[in-house]
């Protein structure tokens, strides 16, 4: 039955990315649920789901999926203007979740959601959440008093992409935690080496020793927190906590 889920994903991709003109997106963003383009888009989703699944008994489920899709698109319009990137990602995530929901409902596997949720380790979820922004705040507070000035001097500027450092730290800690939980310790060494080449190579050329030390401390703290968190998760799993 997994083929059914793939067909529904295919219908979503075709309707959302290939059969939806930009003018429809703009009209929906402007007029929300009053946009005629919204209902054309919903109709295309419904038709594609029916065609690709090609089962009479799926028609009510295709109608339900199309209705949920339309509701998600309407909700997206409220945040699309101020937060276009986040609105896009959240929109697509909700669409995939809704497809999964209808798939489970149609295949009479919806009851398995509770079992699936029970198999998800609460410890792992907590660990992954910790190594994202809570760890970033902890590191920033810990080394904040050493923060170098970001005012440019005669020849260089220390300014970079907005919040890029925070996201680099989040991504590296998530990767380190994932590597540890999958017993891929060598990959952590590769990640450290890659970061050293790209980041500390530039700092060496600038000869900003204060900034280099500051970033080095932050990097070691970042990797250290992720490794400690990973080891703690492994220990809890071993002890059956």
Distances (CA, A) of 6 to 13, 47, 108, 112, 180: 10, 16, 17, 19, 31
d(CA 214, CA 22): 46
Q: Is the pLDDT of residue 26 over 50?
A: yes
d(CA 49, CA 5): 10
Burial string for 125-138 (b: 16+ CB within 10 Å, else e) reads eebbebbbeebbee
For residue 68, what pLDDT band results from cuts at 50, 70 and 90? Answer: very high
84 against 57, higher pLDDT: 57
Q: Is the pLDDT of residue 149 over 60?
A: no
Residue carrying the six token digits 């798939």: 103
Mean of pLDDT over the chain:
84
149 against 142, higher pLDDT: 142
24 against 204, higher pLDDT: 24
Q: Is the pLDDT of residue 181 over 50?
A: yes
d(CA 90, CA 92): 5
Angle separating helix axes 164-181 and 122-130, nearest 10 degrees:
150
pLDDT per residue as tens digits for the range 108-130: 876 666 555 555 567 888 899 99
């Amino acid at each position: 039955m997994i083929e059914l889920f793939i067909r529904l994903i295919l219908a979503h991709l075709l309707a959302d990315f290939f059969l939806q003109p930009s003018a429809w997106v703009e009209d929906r963003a402007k007029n929300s649920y009053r946009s005629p383009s919204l209902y054309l888009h919903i109709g295309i989703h419904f038709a594609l789901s029916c065609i690709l699944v090609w089962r009479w008994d799926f028609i009510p489920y295709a109608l339900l999926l199309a209705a949920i899709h339309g509701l998600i698109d309407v909700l997206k319009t409220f945040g699309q203007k101020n937060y276009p990137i986040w609105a896009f990602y959240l929109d697509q995530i909700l669409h995939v979740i809704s497809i999964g929901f209808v798939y489970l409902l149609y295949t009479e596997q919806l009851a398995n959601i509770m079992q699936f949720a029970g198999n998800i380790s609460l410890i792992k979820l907590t660990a992954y959440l910790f190594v994202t922004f809570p760890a970033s705040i902890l590191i920033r507070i810990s080394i904040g008093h050493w923060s170098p000035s970001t005012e440019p001097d005669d020849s260089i500027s220390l300014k970079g992409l907005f919040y890029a450092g925070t996201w680099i730290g989040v991504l590296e800690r998530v990767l380190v935690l994932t590597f540890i939980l999958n017993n891929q310790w060598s990959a952590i060494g590769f990640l450290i080496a890659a970061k050293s080449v790209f980041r500390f190579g530039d700092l060496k050329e600038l000869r900003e020793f204060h900034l280099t030390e500051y970033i080095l401390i932050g990097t070691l703290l970042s990797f250290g927190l992720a490794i400690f968190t990973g080891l703690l998760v492994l220990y809890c799993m071993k002890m059956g906590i």
